[in-house]
Every structure is written in structure tokens, then in C-alpha cells.
Amino acid sequence: MKYKLSLLLLFIVCSISFGQIQDSITQKKKIDSLNTILLNDYNQKLTELKKEQSKDSLKKIELENELKGLKNTDNLKKEELLSELNRLRDAENNRLELKRARIDSLKATATGFPVRGFFNDTLFIIYSKIGSFSAEERAAAISKRINDLKDKLGFDKKSLSIDSVESNVDIVYKDKIIVSITENDAIWNGTTKQKLADNYKLIITNAILKYKDETSLTTLLKEIGLALIVILILVLLIIYLKKLFGWTAKKIEEQEGKLIKGIKLKNYVLFDAQREINVLLSANTLIKWLFIALSVYIVLPILFNIFPWTQDFSKTLFGYILNPLKKMASSIWHYLPNLFTIIIIIIVFRYIVKGMHFLKNEIQNEKLQLSGFYPDWANPTFQILKVVLYAFMFVLIFPYLPGSDSPVFQGVSVFLGFLFTFGSAGSLSNVMAGLVLTYMRLFRIGDRVKIGDVFGDVIEKSLLVTRVKTIKNEIISIPNSTVMSSHTINYSSETDSVGLILHSTVTIGYDVPWKKMHQALIDAANRTELLLKEPKPFVLQTSLDDFYVSYQINAYTKEANKQATIYSDLHQNIQDCCNEAGIEILSPHYRAARDGNTTTIPENYLDKDYKAPSFNVKIKKEE
């Protein structure tokens, strides 16, 4: 497990470093490309100026020679020549001013090519070319010449000299030119050729002396000793970090069953004590390796900084941490105005939703009554308006989100919207049906309904499904789109106001008087406990068939959810009342042959002296 975490951590660090290196290389390429274009344009302009300068210089020499050859009495010609010379001097000054202005405009954007020292450090920057040598080639050549000086014996501060040759100033070692400084170099650095030469000479001299000092045997031994001390400190730090986190691991294990008893959500055990211990131990191990990696990362730049050759590595390593942190801090700072805008928008919409929630509760509790708006509409209407408000809030916030103008961000947003729309087509139809059902008020929670072939009580209404509990305790989920396409019977909607009429049909033969039958059925309804006495029960004769009359008893009840019990009690009472009245409930096609047959009424309803009738036989005599 430890090796896996180490490899994972190493992989993450390498990935981040490689990504940052790639980004820096890409950014440097872009800068170098732009810089090359700017300097090439400048050098082209510079070539044109030099051509003009050469022509004017030749012309100036000719005029000066001609002026020297004039006689003292030829004043008119002399004034003409002096005027021409002044014009050439003004043109030269204008060219210099133009060159300075051009260079000043380039300073803000163009970057030169560095002259590297002995430890890959930058000594100074070259911007302009000389002859066929570009600025980059000049910087490389000067770097090579300076690096060749490190092996020269007897080098001291007086080894370099400055010579003025024609239009340039050269820094020379013995008979070898190290750097040639032109007028353009001086303008780029905002100084004169002589001062720039003195500055470059001092920089080169100090760099060589510093190299000789830092590469001496005594200095190297000191640096090696210091590096060993740093490595020893790192090793001790890692050892003590391991001991520290080993101690914390033991303390975590000791808390099993004490402070660490697991995590429960109501009756569900999310983590038992052992699992929680394992998670904490894994986190402890991960934090340990993070601290070790951080220690190595901090110590390596210090170690690299000890030796002059590796000092640039330390800057690079620190840059991998500091540069992203600077970018993050800068991004956060510049994003603060947008963040405050988002917070204000969220706060405003939150209080709007709170106000709507208050109104919803008032309407739901019937404290606030709106004409044509029912209390059971309050919650779904609130939910719809809340979704619409949050959607509108997101639309307002979207332009202020970081990266919202990125094509990738916009593409992902469109893709997710497309996926949601087409992936939830069936669900959306159920949602729309659920909204329609809410405002149609077909039924409420607790109503006894019949949806298609499903008969039971509504126990849940959601945007997607309606759940019905049957009288056999079966839970049936019906999609709202199915509810919309089916016929629905609500037995409870009018129960509280006028009551539900329950009815049952009994078929009795024509030999029983209808008034007697009506009374028996009404008596049975009055005996049934959950049927109302007022309004009074009533009987309807629904048909006169071949062998019987259909009598339908109708009675009111306020208990629509107890129909099964009411019907069972009513049927029992119908049997009792009919038997008491001497009414036989026979099969529809039953033909009574009473001769010798006992009545179908139970014995406890018959008289004590009841006897079955005898057979009647009638004989007709022939005359």
C-alpha cells in the first residue's frame, strides 16, 4: 500500500512538473516568435537608416574638403557649403532621434538575447545586430568568448581593456575582441557607448573572478560539506516524520471503540469502527507521504542553490510552486468583483424564495385565500416557481463564472443540455403530466380512487409517478402519463360534503311484494354501522327480468376508504332482514317446486311448528 501511494504521488508530481514545463516551453516559443518578428522589423529599418547615414557621411566629407579648399574671399560659396553641412548634421540628429524613438517603442514588447555566464546566469542582453551577425548570434558568440576566459591563468581586474575603433567601442582581452559595442547598443541601454563598455567590462570581470573563487578547492569542499549537512537534515526529517505518523497511526488504532465508534445515519451504519479506522489510517499514510514529498521538494532547491552550476535548478523548482500560486492569487484577486456580484445575486434570489415560501405556507394553511387558487396548489406552484427562479439566477450568474466564455465550457454546456433533453424525454412527459394532474385536482393524498383497473388509496403524488395502495396492501406505481391517458374514478372527492352513495343489487322473484322487499333492504341499510341515516337510504328497481325483479339498495356514507367493510356488513344485514321477513333470496333461474320441499330460509328464522309441505297430487277422472 505504501509503495502504491509513493508511486502515485511521484506520478502526480511528475505530471504537474511536465505540464508546467510544456506550458513554459510553449509560452517561450510564442514570445520568441513575436520577439523575432519585432527585431527583424527593427533591423530592416536600421539597415535603411545606415544606408542613408553612409550617403550623408560621404557627402559631409566632400563638403568639408571643398570648404577647406576655398579662398578666404569666396564668402558666398562658403556660406552655401556651411548651410549644406548644417543640413546634414540636422539630418543626422533626426536619424538618431528616430532611432531612439523606434528603440523606445520596442523596449516594452521586444526581449533581447541573453549573454550567459559560467553558471548559466544572464550577464547582459543583446538586442541589435552587427553586420551579418544577428542579435542571437552575437549573444552566443559573446557567451563563448567569455566562457573561454575562465581557463586563462593570471586573469585579474586589469586584464580587460577598452578600445575605441571607428564607430564602435571594443572590450578586448590582449589582442582578442570580447564584445563590440555599437551606437545602437548604447541607445537600447539608454546610455553612451563608453559608459556601456565600462559597465560590460565590470560585469565580465566580476563574473570571471566569482567563477574562479567559487570553483576553488576550498569553496568546493565547503559547498560539499554544506550539501552533506542539508542531505543529513533531510534524512533526519524523513525519519522523524515516519516516527511521528507511526505514532499517530497507533493513537488512531487505540481509539477504536472509544472516540471512534463508527458513523451512523439514523439506523444505517455508514462506517463501522473498523472501517473508520482503516480510512483514517489510509489518510494518515497519505498525509505522511505528502509531507515527505513536500520536504524533499523544499530541500532540493536549497541543495541546488549551494552549487553555482545548479542554482538555476533551484529557481526553476521554486518556480513550479510559486508561479502557480502567484497565478492563483492573481486570478482570485481579479475575480473578486465577479465573485461579489454572484454572492449578491444569490442572496437576493434566496430572500425572494424565502418570501415565496412564506406565502406558500400561508396559502397552504388557508390563512391567505386567493380566489380560484386552491390550497393544494400552493406547494407545486412554489416548487415550479423556485425552479424557474433558480434557472433565471443561473442565467444571470453564468457570464460571471470563470471560463464561461471558453469554447470548451460552452460546448460542454450545450452537450449536457442536449443529453438531458433527449435522454429524459419519457421522464419529461411524466413531469408534464404530473403538473397537469396537480392543477386538475383529480385526487389528493388519501383519496380512494380507481385508475384504470387499479383500485385503492392514493399514498403518494410526485412529478413522475402516482402510488396507490390497494385494499390488499399492494403498492402500485402508475406513471403520470398513464394516469392522464386512463379514466380515473375518485370516490372521496364529494364524500365530506354530500357523501358517497354505495349500492348493491338483489334479484327476487315476482312472488315477493315489492313494498316488502323495499322495506327489508332499507332496514338492512339502517342496520349497517357506517351508512348514514340521513340522507335516508332508498331502493331502485333497476329491471324487470323474466324470472326476477332487480332491487338496488342505495345508501350514503362518509367513509369512502372503508367500502369493503361496509359492503360486507350490508350484505350480511340484507340476508338477515330478508330471512326475518320470510323472503327467500333465490338463484335467478330457480323455479320453486314447493310440494314436499323445505323452504331455503334458515331454521332459526322459521316458526317452531314449521313443517315441510306435503306433495300434492291431482287426479282427473275420465267419465
Residue spans of the domains in the chain: they are: 2-107, 113-215, 218-306, 309-423, 443-490, 500-604
Is the domain spanning 500-604 CATH 3.30.360.10? The answer is no
3-state secondary structure 402-436: CCCCCHHHHHHHHHHHHHHHHHCHHHHHHHHHHHH
* Residue-wise DSSP of 234-295: HHHHHHHHHHHHHHHHHHHHHTBTTTB--EEETTEEEE-HHHHHHHHHHHHHHHHHHHHHHH
CB-based contacts of 62: which residues, under 8 Å, 6+ apart?
Answer: none
Burial 220-249 (b: 16+ CB within 10 A, else e): eeeeeeeeeebeeebeebbeebeeebeeeb
Tell how strand 488-490 and strand 454-461 pair up: unpaired
For 370, the grid coordinates are 386567493
Strand-pair partners of 508 = 549
* Distance in angstroms (rounded) separating the CA atoms of residues 209 and 557: 113
CB-based contacts of 192: which residues, under 8 Å, 6+ apart?
Answer: 186
Residue whose C-alpha is closest to residue 439's, from 474, 463, 467: 463
* Distance in angstroms (rounded) separating the CA atoms of residues 545 and 402: 83
pLDDT of residue 466: 87
Give the position of cell 463508527: 262
pLDDT of residue 25: 44
Give me Rg for the CA atoms of the chain: 53
pTM comes to 0.42
pLDDT of residue 253: 84
Report which residue type is found at 493. Answer: S
Residue whose C-alpha is closest to residue 53's, from 18, 88, 10, 77: 88
Give backbone dihedrals phi and psi of 41, rounded to 5 degrees, phi first.
-65, -40
Q: Average pLDDT for consecutive 10-residue bins of the chain (623 residues)?
A: 44 45 47 51 55 57 61 61 66 65 65 80 83 83 83 71 81 85 80 86 84 73 84 91 90 80 70 80 90 84 74 69 80 85 92 90 83 76 84 86 70 65 59 69 84 88 85 88 82 84 91 91 93 93 89 93 91 93 73 58 72 67 63
Residue whose C-alpha is closest to residue 120's, from 301, 318, 309: 309
pLDDT of residue 523: 94
> What tens digit of pLDDT does each residue of 486-509 get?
888 888 888 878 889 999 999 988
pLDDT of residue 10: 44
pLDDT of residue 36: 52
Reading across the β-sheet that carries 500-508, which strands appear in turn? 500-508, 549-557, 538-544
CATH classification of 443-490, choosing from 2.20.25.190, 3.30.365.10, 2.30.30.60, 3.40.630.30? 2.30.30.60
> What tens digit of pLDDT does each residue of 152-174 get?
766 767 778 888 876 788 888 87
pLDDT of residue 92: 64
Residue whose C-alpha is closest to residue 95's, from 37, 43, 48: 48
Note whether 363 and 373 are within 8 A (CB). yes
For 609, the grid coordinates are 311448528
Other CB atoms within 10 A of residue 565 CB: 14
Report CA-CA distances (Å) from 434 to 61, 459, 512: 101, 15, 53
Residue whose C-alpha is closest to residue 273's, from 247, 5, 281: 281
Instruction: Tell me how many helices (H) and strands (E) the chain has.
Output: 14, 15
Report CA-CA distances (Å) from 331 to 30, 31, 372, 482: 22, 22, 53, 53
